[in-house]
Amino acid sequence: NIAQKYPYKKWLDDNLVHLKDIPYNDCPLFIGEETLEKRKSVFGYTIEDINTIILPMAKSGKEPIGSMGSDTPIAVLSQRPQLIYNYFKQLFAQVTNPPLDGIREELITDISLTLGSDHNIFE
């Protein structure tokens, strides 16, 4: 069994570092403009991503809301360099009627399933 081949839990416990235990040296973080541009490029961020997704999330602490769709070609057909996860990303929205959001509407969303044979309820 791969999970028991090595002492993974012990390794994690022995090497766990809490942020509160790391000394803060009060040194300002400076990232040069060239480094920032390179990082944005490496992670696939565009100006549109930053303005419509990242900044609203950073300012409000909430998920951005939008539904403009995407006309971007699938990764395998794109002429531009792609991040590996773009090849596996779902490119459509699955729509239900009525709309369901099991996370935000947990109290009113029932996704239970009854298993077994169907019976005539009038018999």
Reported as a single tens digit per residue, the pLDDT across 80-100 is: 888 887 888 776 666 666 666
7: DSSP letter: -
Answer yes or no: are the C-beta atoms of 87 and 75 closer than 8 Å.
yes
How confident is the prediction for the chain on average, in pLDDT?
A: 78
Token pair, residue 17, equals 């570092």
Q: Between 72 and 59, whose confidence is greater? A: 59
**Tokens read off for 27:** 């040194």
Region for residue 104 given its phi and psi (left: phi exceeds 0; alpha: psi -120 to 50; beta: otherwise)? alpha
Query: 56 or 114, which is more confident?
Result: 56
**pLDDT given at position 67:** 59
Which amino acid makes up residue 28?
P
